[in-house]
C-alpha cells in the first residue's frame, strides 16, 4: 500500500505536525508515504513525491504547511479531477489523507463519488466550522494568537478613554469571536449567528461610561461585515473615541500550541490506522465530546456547522 497526504484550502497551525507524524507513522507501519505539494492544484499537476524522513525533519514547531496548499478552480472540472485520479494511480497511491476545511471536504466528496478513492479527511481550519466535530486542527493556536493580541490591546485601551474594536477571522462562523470575547472579558461581541441589537447595549454601556468606565473592548467576526457599523455605533452612540484593529492573517500563523500538536498526532494515527484496515473509505476524522471517531463525509458536508448553544447563550453574559 502507498499512502499520501495533502493540504487543501487555507493553512492552519498543526498541519506541519500532522505531516511529520504521517510520514513517520506510515514508515513505522512498513508502508510507503508520499507528499502531495500545492494541494489540489499539485494533485492535478502531479507534484507528488515519495517522502523521506529528512523532508519532515525540524518542521514540528512551524506554523503553515511544508507541503503548501491551494484553492483550485480547475478541480471543479471533471477532466482535471480525472487527471488528478490518474496521477494517484500512476504512483500506486491507494490511501489518501486530506488536511482541509469545509470546501476541501466538499471537493473530496465529489471526487470520491466519481472515482475509486480511499481517503480520510482531517478537519484543519482555524474557523472551527466543520459539522460533526467539536475541534478542528489549528483553532487552539489561532485562539492563543488572538488572546495575546487582545491582552496587549486591552493594556493600551485601559490607558485611554477609548473603545477598541477588534475584527477576527472565522468566515461565516462566530466561534473565534465568541470564545475570544469570553476569555478576554470583552464587553461587546458581534457574530453572524446572532443579530446585532445595540439598543440594550447602548443603555448599559452609556450608564457604565457615565459612572467611570473609561474603555470598551469590542470583538467583531469578519463574517458579519459589521465592523464599520459597530465602529460608528461606538463613536456616535456610546461616545468613545474608537480605534479599529483587524488581525487578519496573523491568526493563521505562529508555532502550533501543545494541544494542536497532540491533536495532529491523534488525528493522523486514527486516519492511517483506519486506512490500513479498510479498502473503501470516504471518512472524516472528528473529535466529539472528548472522543475521536470517523464519520461519513456525506454527514459532514450535508449540514452546515452550528455554533453550540452555550456560546450563543454566552453573548448575554458579557460585561
> For residue 284, what pLDDT is reported?
98
pLDDT above 70 coverage of the chain, percent: 100
> Does residue 81 belong to any structural domain of this protein?
yes
Closest CA to 124 of 48, 51, 67: 67
> Does residue 154 belong to any structural domain of this protein?
yes
Measured distance CA(264)–CA(7) in Å, rounded: 13
Q: Are residues 210 and 101 in the same domain?
A: no
Strand partners, 2: 32, 93
> Does residue 78 belong to any structural domain of this protein?
yes
Name the grid cell of 15. Answer: 498541519
Q: Are residues 160 and 279 in the same domain?
A: no
| Domain C-terminal end among 193, 220, 252 | 252
> Does residue 306 belong to any structural domain of this protein?
no
Q: Are residues 112 and 10 in the same domain?
A: yes
- Is 127 among the catalytic positions? yes
What DSSP state is assigned to residue 40?
Answer: H
User: How confident is the model over 2-8, as a mean pLDDT?
Assistant: 97
> Does residue 319 belong to any structural domain of this protein?
no
Predicted confidence (pLDDT) per residue in 193-228, tens digit:
999 989 889 999 999 999 988 899 999 999 999 999
pLDDT above 90 coverage of the chain, percent: 91
| Domain C-terminal end among 221, 236, 252 | 252
Mean pLDDT over the full length of the chain: 95
User: How confident is the model over 146-161, as a mean pLDDT?
Assistant: 90
Exposure letters 123-145 (e unless 16+ CB within 10 A, then b)? bbbbbbbbbbbebbbbbbbbbbb
Contact 206/239 with Cβ under 8 angstroms?
A: yes
Q: Are residues 60 and 173 in the same domain?
A: no
Measured distance CA(12)–CA(177) in Å, rounded: 17
> Does residue 125 belong to any structural domain of this protein?
yes
Question: What domain range is 268 assigned to?
Answer: 2-138+256-301
Q: For 221, how many CA atoms within 13 A lie in the half-sphere containing its CB?
A: 24
User: How confident is the model over 168-193, as a mean pLDDT?
Assistant: 96
Does residue 260 have a pLDDT over 70? yes
> Does residue 314 belong to any structural domain of this protein?
no
Q: Which residue has the cell 510507503?
A: 32
Query: Nearest 5°: CA angle at 271, between 145 and 4?
Result: 90
If you count them, how many residues does the chain have?
Answer: 319
Here the CATH number for the domain that contains residue 201 is 3.40.50.460
Does residue 120 have a pLDDT over 90? yes
Q: Are residues 11 and 126 in the same domain?
A: yes
Does residue 292 have a pLDDT over 90? yes
Q: Are residues 16 and 110 in the same domain?
A: yes
Q: Are residues 89 and 187 in the same domain?
A: no
Instruction: State the pLDDT confidence band at 16, using cuts at 50, 70 and 90.
Output: very high
Whole-prediction pTM: 0.95
Q: Are residues 158 and 173 in the same domain?
A: yes
Among residues 38, 127, 129, 260, the one annotated as catalytic is 127
Q: Are residues 43 and 129 in the same domain?
A: yes
> For residue 319, what pLDDT is reported?
65
Name the grid cell of 192. Answer: 453572524
What is the number of structural domains in the chain? 2
Q: Are residues 8 and 125 in the same domain?
A: yes
Hey, is 29 helix, strand or coil?
A: coil
Q: Are residues 128 and 16 in the same domain?
A: yes
Q: Are residues 30 and 156 in the same domain?
A: no
Instruction: State the pLDDT confidence band at 165, using cuts at 50, 70 and 90.
Output: very high
> Does residue 318 belong to any structural domain of this protein?
no
Here the CATH number for the domain that contains residue 132 is 3.40.50.450
Does residue 67 have a pLDDT over 70? yes
> For residue 166, what pLDDT is reported?
98
Amino acid at each position: 500500500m502507498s499512502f499520501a497526504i495533502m493540504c487543501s484550502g487555507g493553512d492552519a497551525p498543526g498541519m506541519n505536525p500532522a505531516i511529520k507524524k504521517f510520514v513517520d507513522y506510515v514508515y513505522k507501519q512498513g508502508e510507503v508515504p508520499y507528499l502531495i505539494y500545492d494541494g489540489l492544484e499539485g494533485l492535478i499537476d502531479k507534484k507528488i513525491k515519495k517522502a523521506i524522513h529528512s523532508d519532515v525533519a525540524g518542521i514540528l514547531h512551524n506554523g503553515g504547511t511544508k507541503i503548501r496548499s491551494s484553492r483550485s478552480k480547475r478541480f471543479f472540472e471533471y477532466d482535471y479531477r480525472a487527471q488528478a485520479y490518474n496521477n494517484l494511480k500512476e504512483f500506486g497511491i491507494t490511501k489518501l489523507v486530506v488536511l482541509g476545511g469545509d470546501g476541501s471536504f466538499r471537493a473530496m466528496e465529489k471526487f470520491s463519488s466519481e472515482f475509486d478513492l480511499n481517503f480520510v479527511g482531517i478537519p484543519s481550519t482555524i474557523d472551527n466550522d466543520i459539522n460533526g466535530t467539536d475541534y478542528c486542527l489549528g483553532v487552539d493556536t489561532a485562539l492563543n494568537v488572538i488572546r495575546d493580541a487582545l491582552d496587549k490591546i486591552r493594556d493600551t485601551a485601559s490607558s485611554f478613554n477609548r473603545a477598541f474594536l477588534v475584527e477576527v477571522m472565522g468566515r461565516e462562523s462566530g466561534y473565534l469571536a465568541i470564545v475570544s470575547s469570553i476569555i478576554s472579558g470583552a464587553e461587546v461581541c458581534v457574530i453572524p449567528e446572532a443579530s446585532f441589537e445595540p439598543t440594550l447595549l447602548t443603555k448599559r454601556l452609556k450608564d457604565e461610561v457615565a459612572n467611570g468606565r473609561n474603555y470598551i473592548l469590542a470583538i467583531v467576526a469578519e463574517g458579519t461585515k459589521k465592523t464599520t457599523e459597530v465602529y460608528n455605533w461606538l463613536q456616535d452612540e456610546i461616545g468613545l473615541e474608537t480605534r479599529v484593529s483587524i488581525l487578519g492573517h496573523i491568526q493563521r500563523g505562529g508555532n502550533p500550541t501543545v494541544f494542536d500538536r497532540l491533536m495532529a498526532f491523534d488525528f493522523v494515527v486514527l486516519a492511517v490506522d483506519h486506512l490500513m484496515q479498510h479498502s473503501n473509505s470516504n471518512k472524516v476524522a472528528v473529535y466529539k465530546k472528548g472522543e475521536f471517531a470517523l464519520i461519513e463525509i456525506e454527514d459532514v458536508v450535508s449540514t452546515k456547522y452550528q455554533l453550540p448553544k452555550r456560546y450563543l447563550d454566552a453573548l448575554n453574559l458579557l460585561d
